[in-house]
């Protein structure tokens, strides 16, 4: 099969982790006889510095013409510490999500036996936790207008907007995921306070009737934040709006032992994007110490979701499991004094894939 991918390394540790995911991707292609071609393009602060736009037109064209996008991370302290900056790296990511129509962000949370002791939660709570967060990605307060400041600068406002259509398509997608899993869906909202959440609940209750095999529960977001640490095993599929999903998935990720482990797939109307859920971790940039596993696991999702090649995805997962078992890992999850470099972990996983039996 011909695989044509766009590679957007972005900022901070983005280039280093994406290089490892690309190494793994090309090894899988070699092993399984696929023809890989890829092109790199600019996003985020790197793109602002080069051309003054965090999502240049050229990058968008490349994404539209590719079969999948492998994405690193976006963000830079230069902009985080300057709230008055007119152009911000994160706008690049949001524009990309909007223009590619990536309304669903799939964030699978699984635990790795060899990492359970790294979790801030007790092992008995975490062992066996396995759920998927489905985050709506192109609506809500991230995109609602008006947004701004009053003329005197003393008031600021954001607007949360959802339409029936936006809610319906993401909730239906979540039900379809639940159907293929344990058939349990948790719809997370704040319907006791927010009007948009009441619309979510109303629409979800209607869609629920189409999926009688699935057990649905409705949960307020504050309770969901608590349940995630109290009993993560109770969840199968969660669906929620954009900002709640952003917050809950950072929380969910550390349950697995490290923020550096969680991949994601953003899917929707045009080309899908595969990216780790963590940020650009600028303090670690160019030090070759960042954990590449979330990005490598995002490449596994790319084979599964974008190319419908589950064996290739599994080859990556098996090699990642092996690296964890053999403790070929970066400093965030290594025992003291036994850390490997980002590139060494990528290299080891690629070698493992090459030597695995098919």
Please list the active-site residues.
Answer: 142, 190, 222, 246, 250
Q: Under rule CB under 6 A, which residues in 68-87 are in contact with ligand IPM?
A: 74-75
Taking the C-alpha atoms of residue 115 and residue 129, their distance in angstroms, rounded to an integer, is 13
Q: Does 11 bind Mg ion (CB under 5 A)?
A: no
CB of 31 to ligand IPM, least distance (A): 30
279 binds, among Mg ion, ligand IPM, none (CB under 5 to 8 A by kind): ligand IPM
Kindly list the distances between the CA atom of residue 240 and the CA atoms of 103, 145, 243, 252, 341, in Å, as whole numbers in the listed order: 12, 20, 8, 14, 36
Name the one range near Mg ion by CB under 5 A: 10-18, 112-120, 219-227, 246-254. Answer: 246-254
Give Cα 25 to chain centroid, integer Å. Answer: 18
CB of 135 to Mg ion, least distance (A): 9
Q: Does 90 bind ligand IPM (CB under 6 A)?
A: yes
Taking the C-alpha atoms of residue 19 and residue 270, their distance in angstroms, rounded to an integer, is 24
**What is the phi/psi pair of residue 356, to 5°?**
-70, 150
Binding residue (CB under 6 A) for ligand IPM from 279, 292, 313, 346: 279
Binding residue (CB under 5 A) for Mg ion from 16, 236, 246, 304: 246
What's the token pair of residue 244? Answer: 């709640």
Pairing of strands 237-240, 130-136: parallel
Cβ 225 vs Cβ 247: under 8 Å: yes
Q: Is the peptide bond before 146 cis (omega within 30 degrees of 0)?
A: yes
CB of 88 to Mg ion, least distance (A): 15
Closer by beta carbon to Mg ion, 261 or else 345: 261
Binding residue (CB under 6 A) for ligand IPM from 22, 45, 93, 309: 93
Closer by beta carbon to Mg ion, 189 or else 246: 246
CB of 147 to Mg ion, least distance (A): 19
Beta-bridge mates of residue 267: 104
Q: Does 158 bind ligand IPM (CB under 6 A)?
A: no
Buried (b) or exposed (e) across 31-66, using 16+ Cβ within 10 A? Answer: beebebebeebbbbbbbbeeeebbbbeebbebbeeb
90 binds, among ligand IPM, Mg ion, none (CB under 5 to 8 A by kind): ligand IPM
The sign of the torsion formed by the CA atoms of 113, 335, 280, 26 equals negative
- Name the residues that contact Mg ion, by CB under 5 A: 246
- Name the residues that contact ligand IPM, by CB under 6 A: 74-75, 90, 93, 246, 277, 279
């Amino acid at each position: 099969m011909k695989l044509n991918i766009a590679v957007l390394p972005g900022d901070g540790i983005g280039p280093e982790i994406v290089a490892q995911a690309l190494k793994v991707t090309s090894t899988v292609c070699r092993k399984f006889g696929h023809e890989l071609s890829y092109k790199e393009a600019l996003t985020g602060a790197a793109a602002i510095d080069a051309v003054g736009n965090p999502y240049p037109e050229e990058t968008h064209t490349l994404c539209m013409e590719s079969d999948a996008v492998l994405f690193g991370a976006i963000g830079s302290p230069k902009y985080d510490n300057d709230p008055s900056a007119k152009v911000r790296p994160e706008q690049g990511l949001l524009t990309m999500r909007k223009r590619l129509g990536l309304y669903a962000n799939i964030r699978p949370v699984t635990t790795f036996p060899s990492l359970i002791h790294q979790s801030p939660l007790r092992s008995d709570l975490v062992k066996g936790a396995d759920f998927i967060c489905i985050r709506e990605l192109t609506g809500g307060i991230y995109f609602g207008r008006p947004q701004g400041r009053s003329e005197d600068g003393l008031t600021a406002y954001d607007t949360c907007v959802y339409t029936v259509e936006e809610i319906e398509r993401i909730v239906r997608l979540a039900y379809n995921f639940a159907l293929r899993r344990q058939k349990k869906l948790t719809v997370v909202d704040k319907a006791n306070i927010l009007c948009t959440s009441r619309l979510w609940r109303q629409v979800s209750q209607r869609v629920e009737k189409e999926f009688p095999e699935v057990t649905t529960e409705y949960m307020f977001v504050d309770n969901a934040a608590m349940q995630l640490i109290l009993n993560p095993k109770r969840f199968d599929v969660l669906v929620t709006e954009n900002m709640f999903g952003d917050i809950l998935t950072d929380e969910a990720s550390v349950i697995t032992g490290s923020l550096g482990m969680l991949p994601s797939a953003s899917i929707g109307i045009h080309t899908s994007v595969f990216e780790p859920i963590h940020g650009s971790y600028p303090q670690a940039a160019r030090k070759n110490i960042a954990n590449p596993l979330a990005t490598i696991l995002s490449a596994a999702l790319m084979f599964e979701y974008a190319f419908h090649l589950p064996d290739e995805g599994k080859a990556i997962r098996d090699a990642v499991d092996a690296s964890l078992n053999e403790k070929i890992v970066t400093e965030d999850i290594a025992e003291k004094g036994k850390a490997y470099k980002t590139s060494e972990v990528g290299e080891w996983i690629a070698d493992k894939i090459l030597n695995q039996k098919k």
